[in-house]
Amino acid sequence: MTERITNEPKAATPRESFRAERTATATAVVGISPVDGNVATVFARIAWESIVPTALLDAAVAVLSGAPAWTNLASLWWAESAQGKPKRDAIARQLRWAAMAMIPAAFVPYTSWGLLFFVLGCAGARLCWGGMITIRSTLWRSMYPAKERGRYAGWMSIITALTLAAAGATSGTFLESDHRNFRGILLVGAVALFLGSLLYRRIPVPAEPKLLAQERAERRQRPRPWRDAISILKMDVGFSRYMGAMFVFGSGNLMAMPIIIQVIRERFDQGYLGGILLGSTLPMLVLPFAVPKWAKFFDQVHILRYRLVHGWFFVGANVLLLTASLTGTLWMLYLAIAIRAIAMAGGSIGWTLGHLDYAPPGQAGRYMGVHVTLTGVRGLIAPGIGAVAYRTAEVAQPGTGGLAFALCVALSFVGMLMFRRSVQLDAGTTTGRRGEGES
């Protein structure tokens, strides 16, 4: 009797894939950190405050603070562009494009036109980064089992948070000594993004061929992303209700972002380091302690049940932000931002994976595309409303701009009521653990 010996390599385990991905993710996050939300926003708010008109500066703050959300408007196209194609190559491409968008922003002058091109460069990098996030969620479906996905996503959030915290604090320290150091910070970020693109292509994903086969079976000759999105929302009523609640709830949270930056600078008079510590580093340091708890809870319940618990942390944070800004209480501002960070920790998991409780096999990318595109719509609208509400209140009565947080409280509370209503309507399908796409 002879024994046949094969030389086929053993398929990588989820743990092995995770080890490779965490290195690639940490490297890429270092690269994107200079234009990550509040770092770029704080820099623009202070560097150009005595150079450009207040209205233009407010607009820049609104655009930059909302960029992580509104740049998701392109996510339907990103998802469609990667449909049926190797996901690691697509992610690497997005990272390279983000790097190329950041490089010109490093050389802008300190003028009104310079601020405009700085915003465009940062937004362009975030636009490409949003495409990476969209494609990565589909890749995770091939890499990690459904009942462990929340845990792996949670660890990825921790790695991202700690990397952003360290990078943000480092950037703030350099900027405090000389704001012109931001040019070098952007160039270092671009190099890190290029390196991250190389590392992502080396992540082992043994189940990717099966995923690509499913996607190619679903692929049409002429992609119609917006029509597909409307079709999904009409066909899947439960998902449509979930998206409606997320739109209202998320608008309240996005509206708070430019108000926070303005309050930190104008009400509490914080500079580069203080602004970045409050706006970016503190939330990122709190997040790793909260993510494991949220991940464990997420792996046990449907996304609607998850939101019914998670969402109240955002409501509470918005109430504290309102109180801190009106009373000028700095310790309460720290507490509000810490609680908001706990909520963000849970949101990072629910936002990335929640759509998988609805998406059928082969449709995960399109469902994620619908979700993040609607995030983009509210990201395009809500921060601008928040910025206008803050400035209107501040002009009417100096020191009362924080009243704009009342809008955030109202929207987040109404969103929670909508989640509760969705659970009541979908009680038969929202009580169990998730499967592979069953709702």
Is the pLDDT reported for residue 19 higher than 60?
yes
Would the pLDDT of 120 be above 90?
yes
| 2 located within any domain | no
Please count the other Cβ atoms lying within 10 Å of the Cβ belonging to residue 77: 16
46: tokens are 């202070």
Task: Identify whether the C-beta of residue 282 lies closer than 8 Å to the C-beta of residue 337.
Answer: yes
Evaluate if residue 106 carries a pLDDT over 80: yes
Contact 146/300 with Cβ under 8 angstroms?
no
pLDDT in tens, 63-86: 998 887 887 777 777 877 887 888
Is 46 buried (19+), middle (13-18) or exposed (0-12) by CB count in 10 A?
middle
Tell me the average pLDDT across 24-37: 89
pLDDT at 431 over 60: no
Residue 203, phi then psi, degrees to nearest 5:
-70, 130
Within a domain: 1: no
Between 89 and 367, name the one with better pLDDT. Answer: 89
**How many domains does the chain fold into?**
1
User: Is residue 437 a part of any domain in this protein?
Assistant: no
At residue 427 the predicted structure's pLDDT band, cuts being 50, 70 and 90, is low
d(CA 372, CA 379): 10
Question: Is 213 part of any domain?
Answer: yes
The reported pTM is 0.78
pLDDT digit string (tens) for 342-364? 998 888 888 877 887 888 876 77
Q: What is the pLDDT of residue 423?
A: 81
Q: What whole-number distance in Å separates Cα of residue 2 and Cα of residue 221? A: 50
Domain assignment of residue 181, yes or no: yes
Mean residue pLDDT of the chain comes to: 84
Average pLDDT over residues 294-317: 89
Helix axes 237-262, 54-70, angle to 10 degrees: 150
The CATH number that applies at residue 404 is 1.20.1250.20
More confident residue, 127 or 364: 127
Question: Domain containing 417: what range?
Answer: 14-429
Across 249-268, average pLDDT: 91
Q: Report the Cα–Cα distance between both ends of the chain, in Å, rounded.
A: 51
pLDDT at 4 over 50: no
| Whether residue 180 has pLDDT greater than 70 | yes
